[in-house]
Amino acid sequence: MRKGLFFGVVCLWATVLMAGGKFTPLNVKTGLWQDTATTIVTGGLGIPPELMSRLTPEQRARYEAAMKHEANGTPKTRTYKACLTQKELNEEPFADRNHGNMKCQETVINSTSSDFEVRERCAEGTSNSDIHMKVHAIDSGHVVGNSESTATMGGRTMHSTIKLDFKWAGATCPAGVH
């Protein structure tokens, strides 16, 4: 299931804040949003040895080619539409979030009706990640933000930056847009 990045940001934010009792929802409209994310990725993640031993040489080569294509430092912009409900905004955003066996710690740095900043650090064995995200509601129909992350797995490190731009597109969501 693919949710818009904006809703992932809102969901992460709400889940973290509700757990800490510091929840202040962003003052944004519900309904249809157009989400634009420009991502720059460098480096790459390795394959843990236990998984590497199960891959054929062809599978390893495909993984390396895909990683080289995605993590080449070239900005990639994706735009899509997603629906934000009041329930997602206030209560249950990111219920489908899954970190597998990773142990994560979120630290809310700032939470107001117009700004949100969080850092999340996760680790499991020799794999780890560190994400720092800021979001600002310019008004109830326009949200901007950025995210920086570093992840290490299989002895290799990947860095990414994401520039976020979310614009409200309407009060109702067409069928099939979630």
| 158 within domain boundaries | yes
Domain assignment present for 66: yes
- Residue-number span of the structural domain to which 42 is assigned: 5-170
Let me know if residue 26 belongs to a domain: yes
List pLDDT tens digits, range 93-152.
Answer: 333 355 667 788 888 788 889 998 888 898 988 889 999 999 999 999 999 999 999 999
The pLDDT assigned to 99 comes to 62
- pLDDT bin (cut points 50, 70, 90) of residue 51 is confident
* pLDDT at site 15: 46
Residue 41 lies in a domain: yes
Contact 33, 4 (CB under 8 A): yes
**Residue 60 covered by a domain:** yes
Torsion sign, CA atoms 8, 14, 20, 25: positive
Give the pair of three-digit tokens for residue 72. Answer: 């080449």
Domain count, the chain: 1
Judge whether 12 lies within some domain.
yes
pLDDT of amino acid 23: 64
Region of poorest pLDDT, from 35-44, 65-74, 100-109, 165-174 = 100-109
Q: Is residue 176 part of a domain?
A: no
31: left (phi over 0), alpha (psi -120 to 50) or beta: left
Tell me the C-alpha distance between 86 and 35, whole Å.
17
Let me know: does 160 contact 144? Beta carbons within 8 Å.
no
| DSSP classification of residue 72 | B
Report pTM.
0.77
Alpha helices in 23-121 (DSSP H): 49-52, 57-70, 86-90
The CA distance from 153 to 69, in Å, is 18
Residue 175 lies in a domain: no
**Predicted pLDDT at 2:** 41
